[in-house]
Amino acid sequence: MTTKLQETGVNSASESLNRRCGDYSGNTTSSWGQGAKILLTGPPGIGKSTLMSWIVESMSCHQVRGVLCLEKRDGANRREGFSAVLSDGRHEMFMTKQKNPGEPNITNTATGKTGSNGTTEAACPVSSAVTTHRVGSYIVNVDIIDTFIVPELVGCLTNPYLPGLVYIDEIGRAQSHSSLFFPAVRRVLESDCNVLATIVQKNIDWSMPFKCSPKSWLVEVTVENREELRPVLLAMINNFSSFEKLSVSQQQCVRRLFFRLLEEKQFVSAKKLFGNAISYVVDSRIQQISDANDSSTSQTPSTSAFLILAEHEKAMIGYDWFCITGKTGRHQLHRDRRTGRFTCDCDLSLGRGAFSHLPARPPVMPVSAVQPPHVKDGGEGETVGSKNTSGNSSSSSSGRDGSWSARRGQTCSHELCVLIFEAS
């Protein structure tokens, strides 16, 4: 793929820094490192930077480094341009709105004077130069990108300990004018750091290698999901090391589940996918109940699902049963082999307790037909035998391949755990 940088023949302003970053050849995906590589996309002003800022602040206990792109407004609330804000609070303005269209804006980086009216901006620590690159009505100061933003990205990887998160706002049109920016981004992606970046929504040639990487998680931010994505992405970043312990087929299953949950607006489930379900599989907390007399279980008779289910052997025909030990308790769920639908005894599945505001999903068989062991975990729920105060709403359909039909309600982490478990 021919990049815009190659087409315009832009040369590096610093050969030493270019050697540290590597050459940008258009192939940014072949050697991406471990860690979450999340790309946020969406139209300008939709809230990508705000979402990123929230996640960065929520990870205050971890080492985070990067750059945020924040708009700057004048006293009349008119946008003047955009500033790059680093993790240590330093900031420089790298995009300035052209004052008089038709009259070239010249930035003297030694004096910090911009435009014919002499508006004062932050001085750039290099010799005087002329800025000629534009994005719409904005003038791009490439010197700021090369000498302020790029060193911050490269510097993230020079410490003895890698940061818990590197954030990049943004991989956009303005930054594409810099011959140093893409190599720096590539080096960050090749590291084992978790990376959270915003990227231009339009499929421009230089953006496609980033978006199409099999290791990238491209998430579209909308007005409807920008608030809901906050805990989802935070759980993903904090628990991505568990995801990397799964087999390749299980990782593919998780990816399909994740984007399907976002598509169906099951944000609670998407959070539990990374916060709970994956760890249950990695820690071998799931067991399939194939025989009521199975002696491989270490459960005591008083809590054994096998002894209770043995009284309902007829009801068990045609169903797969699973027992999952969660973070604070044990849960049982069964799946109709004919329809692929699940029934679980947790509050999220039934819409009770902390999830009473969510619609419940009707069980595959009447609750009175089969009673799982009484379990209280203080987490996702108690037992099927408890009173359901929210009522039933719509049915679910979930198959072994991790796909299901559109439905209301949320998918519990135990059901997600089974789907990941079986993907191996």
In angstroms, the CA 400 to CA 416 distance is: 10
Q: What is the set of domains in the chain, with CATH numbers? A: 4-223 (3.40.50.300), 282-422 (no CATH)
In angstroms, the CA 419 to CA 381 distance is: 20
Give the lowest-confidence range in 15-19, 77-81, 324-328.
Answer: 15-19
Chain segment 278-308, per-residue pLDDT in tens: 999 999 999 998 644 443 444 433 344 444 4
In angstroms, the CA 328 to CA 379 distance is: 7
pLDDT (average), residues 269-274:
96
- Given a cut of 90, whether residue 118 has pLDDT beyond it is no
User: For residue 79, what pLDDT is reported?
Assistant: 81
- Given a cut of 60, whether residue 129 has pLDDT beyond it is no
Long-range contacts of range 418-422, CB-CB < 8 Å, 24 or more positions apart? 418/286, 418/322, 418/324, 418/333, 418/335, 418/342, 419/253, 419/257, 420/246, 420/250, 420/253, 420/254, 420/257, 420/277, 420/278, 420/281, 421/250, 421/281, 421/286
In angstroms, the CA 85 to CA 416 distance is: 39
pTM: 0.74
Residue 417's closest CA among 384, 387, 392, 380?
380
Give the lowest-confidence range in 103-112, 254-263, 286-295.
Answer: 103-112
Q: Which residue has the higher pLDDT, 241 or 316?
A: 241
User: For residue 98, what pLDDT is reported?
Assistant: 77
SS3 of 271, please?
helix
Exposed / middle / buried, residue 210 (Cβ in 10 Å: 0-12, 13-18, 19+): buried
- Given a cut of 80, whether residue 253 has pLDDT beyond it is yes
Query: In the structure, what pLDDT confidence band is assigned to residue 367 with cuts at 50, 70 and 90?
Result: very low
Can you point out the beta strands (E) in 138-285? Answer: 138-140, 165-171, 195-199, 216-220
| CB burial readout 223-262, b (16+ within 10 A) else e | eebbebbbbbbbbbbbbbebbeebeeebbebbeebbebbb
Residue 92, Cβ neighbours under 10 Å: how many? 21
Chain segment 234-250, per-residue pLDDT in tens: 999 999 999 999 999 99
pLDDT exceeding 70 applies to what percent of the chain?
66
User: For residue 324, what pLDDT is reported?
Assistant: 95
In angstroms, the CA 122 to CA 292 distance is: 74
User: For residue 13, what pLDDT is reported?
Assistant: 33
For the residues of 80-129, what is the DSSP string, one character each? Answer: EEEEEEETTS-EEEEEEE-SSTTS---EETTTTEETTTTEE-PPPSS---
Query: In the structure, what pLDDT confidence band is assigned to residue 313 with cuts at 50, 70 and 90?
Result: low
CA-based torsion, 349, 352, 354, 356: positive or negative = positive
Structure tokens at 228: 């809901």
In angstroms, the CA 360 to CA 344 distance is: 11
| Whether the bond into 170 is cis, omega within 30 of 0 | yes
In angstroms, the CA 95 to CA 105 distance is: 12
Chain segment 86-96, per-residue pLDDT in tens: 988 999 999 88
User: For residue 27, what pLDDT is reported?
Assistant: 46
Query: In the structure, what pLDDT confidence band is assigned to residue 261 with cuts at 50, 70 and 90?
Result: very high
Pairing type for strands 216-220 and 37-41 reads parallel
Structure tokens at 363: 């069980």
In angstroms, the CA 345 to CA 382 distance is: 6
Residue 202, Cβ neighbours under 10 Å: how many? 10
Exposed / middle / buried, residue 266 (Cβ in 10 Å: 0-12, 13-18, 19+): buried
Chain segment 190-223, per-residue pLDDT in tens: 999 999 999 999 999 999 999 999 999 999 999 9
Query: In the structure, what pLDDT confidence band is assigned to residue 399 with cuts at 50, 70 and 90?
Result: very low
